[in-house]
Amino acid sequence: MPHYIYILYSEKVDRYYVGSCQDITDRLGRHNAGYSKSTKAGAPWQLKHIEEYDTNSKAITRETEIKRKKSRKYIEWLISSAG
């Protein structure tokens, strides 16, 4: 089963969120329903970017790589270059 990393955006709080999961539809629904403490205040979230990986460890490695950059510019570049 594929694993994904995703980037969400909230206009409400003008913030991006990076995460990973196996079922992107379910995960986005949970973020928007307020199940995640870290994203509850930003609902509704919009899916802006997604990458697919064949293993969970590859997805988590990529998620960590994006988060370590701590760069909004990098996230916005990723979103715009995925076109």
Q: Which domains does the chain have, with CATH numbers?
A: 3-82 (3.40.1440.10)
**For position 83, what pLDDT does the model report?**
59
Q: pTM for this one?
A: 0.94
Residue position matching structure tokens 């990098």: 74
pLDDT at res. 9: 98
Could you give the angle at the alpha carbon of 16 between the alpha carbons of 53 and 18, nearest 5°? 25
**In this predicted model, what pLDDT tens digit does every residue of 1-29 receive, in sequence order?**
899 999 999 999 999 999 999 999 999 99
Residues 37-80: pLDDT tens digits?
999 999 999 999 999 999 999 999 999 999 999 999 999 999 99
